[in-house]
């Protein structure tokens, strides 16, 4: 996937930090980034930018007061990106790096901004946690698009002999093929362990964020490879304490592959709900277990499962996302 990064030059520091956090995706060959510093001396600026605006599969907007004040960023780059977004040719993702009036801009307000809830990176206690949240969302986009497959070369897209059908060029940012697969128990166990690790990491980061908010406290307890616990306290509410214990068990365990209890130090023989690993003929995913959220028919990525579980947890303490 090829990403165009639109930014104000005054936000060069944020651009550099974003590149640092995108290194893994770039090293994996799954993401290529472009921004105006990659224009060679002697090139025509507008021509190069126009070419990249039309070639990008993903637009990352580094949004700040200086970005909003830049007519070129907003009226030239962002406007063209949104036109292609509306046409279904690309995806536009605002990354909020500094407090600014971005939510008053109708073009941006209707898009999901990152990091989580559009809280500016500069307001996070640890900026690296915010950038990790940004990169995880970008990774989800890359995973969903199937963009790990390289683009066809010019030779592959060349016109064949007259008596052969013309090949169809794949749309930008999408995979040309879906391959059926029979998933065995090792695949299932590997997916379960990876999903549990994702949920665990999500809670670790979210607890750190909760602990930085006035009036709230949070604690994360790592209980080993197959269990963790968390506690949040809402000091503004008399009964504003919530606990959760999350377990990961062997595939096919009666309570769920990943299950949880809204109790501190809950044993492994009880649960309020959970997730099971399921699959179709193409991919694996999570579904709700034991009627939780009535999600048995809803396919969830590990990240989506983590978000659902976190929201249910903090609601026990009278906390919701703004």
pLDDT digits (tens), the chain, 322 positions: 888 999 988 888 998 899 889 988 888 888 888 877 543 333 334 667 778 888 889 999 999 999 999 888 898 889 999 998 888 888 999 999 999 999 888 888 888 899 988 889 998 888 888 999 999 999 988 887 754 444 444 444 444 443 443 343 444 444 455 677 888 888 888 899 989 998 998 898 889 888 888 899 999 999 888 999 999 999 988 889 999 999 997 544 567 889 999 999 888 888 888 899 998 888 889 988 765 544 555 788 888 889 889 999 999 999 986 5
Is residue 64 classed as helix, strand or coil in its secondary structure? Answer: coil
User: Helices 45-55 and 79-86: crossing angle, nearest 10°?
Assistant: 20
State whether 208 and 271 are in the same domain. Answer: yes
Establish if 266 belongs to a structural domain.
Answer: yes
Residue 89 is classified by DSSP as S
Q: pTM for this structure?
A: 0.49
What is the length of the chain? Answer: 322
- Give residue 47's pLDDT: 65
- Give residue 68's pLDDT: 92
- Give residue 299's pLDDT: 83
Q: Is the peptide bond before 243 cis (omega within 30 degrees of 0)?
A: no
Q: Which residues contact 208 (CB under 8 A, 6 or more apart)?
A: 125, 126, 129, 218, 220
Establish if 32 belongs to a structural domain.
Answer: yes
State whether 133 and 214 are in the same domain. Answer: no
Q: Which residues contact 237 (CB under 8 A, 6 or more apart)?
A: 317, 318
Q: Number of structural domains, the chain?
A: 2
Both tokens of 41, joined, read 């001396």
Provide the residue range defining the domain that includes 23.
Answer: 2-145
- CATH number assigned to the domain comprising residue 65: 3.40.50.10140
Both tokens of 287, joined, read 């579904």
- Give residue 41's pLDDT: 38
State whether 132 and 222 are in the same domain. Answer: no
Establish if 246 belongs to a structural domain.
Answer: yes
**Of 91, 126, 145, the domain-final residue:** 145
- Give residue 95's pLDDT: 95
State whether 119 and 252 are in the same domain. Answer: no
Contact of 281 with 181, CB cutoff 8 Å: yes
Establish if 161 belongs to a structural domain.
Answer: no
State whether 206 and 279 are in the same domain. Answer: yes
Both tokens of 167, joined, read 């090949």
For 285-296, how does the pLDDT look when each residue is reduced to its tens digit (9 = 90+)?
A: 998 876 554 455
């Amino acid at each position: 996937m090829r990403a165009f990064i639109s930014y104000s030059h005054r936000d060069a520091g944020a651009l550099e930090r974003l590149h640092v956090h995108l290194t893994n995706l770039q090293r994996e060959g799954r993401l290529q980034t472009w921004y105006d510093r990659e224009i060679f001396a002697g090139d025509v600026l507008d021509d190069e930018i126009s070419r990249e605006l039309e070639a990008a599969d993903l637009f990352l907007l580094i949004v700040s007061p200086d970005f909003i004040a830049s007519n070129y960023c907003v009226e030239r780059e962002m406007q063209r990106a949104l036109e292609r977004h509306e046409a279904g040719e690309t995806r536009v993702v605002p990354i909020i790096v500094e407090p600014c009036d971005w939510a008053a801009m109708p073009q941006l307000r209707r898009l999901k901004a990152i990091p989580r809830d559009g809280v500016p990176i500069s307001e996070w206690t640890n900026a690296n946690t915010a950038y990790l949240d940004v990169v995880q969302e970008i990774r989800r986009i890359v995973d969903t698009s199937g963009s790990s497959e390289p683009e066809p070369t010019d030779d592959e897209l060349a016109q064949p002999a007259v008596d052969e059908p013309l090949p169809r060029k794949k749309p930008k940012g999408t995979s040309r093929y879906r391959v059926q697969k029979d998933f065995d128990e090792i695949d299932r166990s590997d997916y379960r362990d990876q999903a549990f690790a994702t949920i665990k990491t999500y809670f670790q980061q979210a607890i750190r964020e909760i602990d930085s908010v006035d009036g709230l406290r949070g604690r994360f307890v790592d209980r080993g490879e197959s269990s963790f616990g968390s506690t949040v306290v809402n000091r503004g509410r008399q009964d504003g304490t919530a606990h959760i214990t999350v377990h990961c068990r062997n595939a096919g365990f009666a309570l769920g592959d990943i299950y949880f209890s809204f109790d501190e130090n809950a044993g492994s023989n009880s649960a309020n709900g959970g997730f099971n690993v399921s699959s179709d003929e193409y991919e694996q995913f999570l579904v709700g277990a034991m009627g939780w959220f009535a999600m048995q028919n809803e396919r969830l990525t590990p990240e989506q499962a983590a978000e659902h579980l976190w929201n249910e947890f903090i609601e026990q303490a009278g906390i919701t996302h703004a």
